[in-house]
Amino acid sequence: MRDPGRVAILISGRGSNMKALVEQAQGYEVVLVASNKPLAPGLEWARAAGLPTWALDGKGVDKQEFDRLLSAALHDHQVGTIALAGFMRILSPWFVDQWRGRIVNIHPSLLPKYQGLDTHVRALSAGDAVSGCSVHLVTEELDAGEVLGSAEVPIEPDDTPESLEQRVLAAEHQLYPKVLGEFVHK
């Protein structure tokens, strides 16, 4: 059985949640940062922090092949837990099955509300008084796995999608390291 405390973080972009997971790591070790975007700004930060990285451009690679190569890289680094942090690529059912129960994700809404994209626009359009973020297990169904933890933030009357995003993001940076630390010890 793999050590659940050996964590890989998967990113596609700026990687602010990755940074929070690395800087606030308690009870787990980040052993790999992987991306489907070789130019993701977060990868540069990871390299500068001395973390091993892996990247393969998801465009133009067969989906099954990408997931097979990613899975092999994770095995090479003896990864026990995979933390998706702004990884904007849907993992295949094959991959999810290979790593069943070992993949977590952070999502910028109070799940089960607003699965998928544009969560802040949707929360504002609905006139919600609160929003937030959720950490959940990844299953074959998008953003529908068991919720492991969530945090609420208020929605202010003059909020824009951008101002709400910033408030939710700050909550994400608090929530994710805490929930991941608890998860790897379960």
Enumerate binding residues for ligand GAR (CB under 6 A).
11, 13-17, 85-86, 106-108, 169, 172
* Active-site pick, 75, 77, 107, 136: 107
Shortest Å distance, C-beta 53 to ligand GAR: 15
Q: Which is nearer to ligand GAR, 34 or 85 (CB)?
A: 85
Q: Which is nearer to ligand GAR, 3 or 113 (CB)?
A: 113
107 counts as catalytic: yes
Q: Which is nearer to ligand GAR, 86 or 177 (CB)?
A: 86
The Cα 103–Cα 139 span in angstroms is 8
Shortest Å distance, C-beta 162 to ligand GAR: 12
Q: Which is nearer to ligand GAR, 3 or 63 (CB)?
A: 63
The Cα 166–Cα 21 span in angstroms is 17
Give residue number: closest CB to ligand GAR. Answer: 86
Shortest Å distance, C-beta 74 to ligand GAR: 19
| Active-site residue set | 107
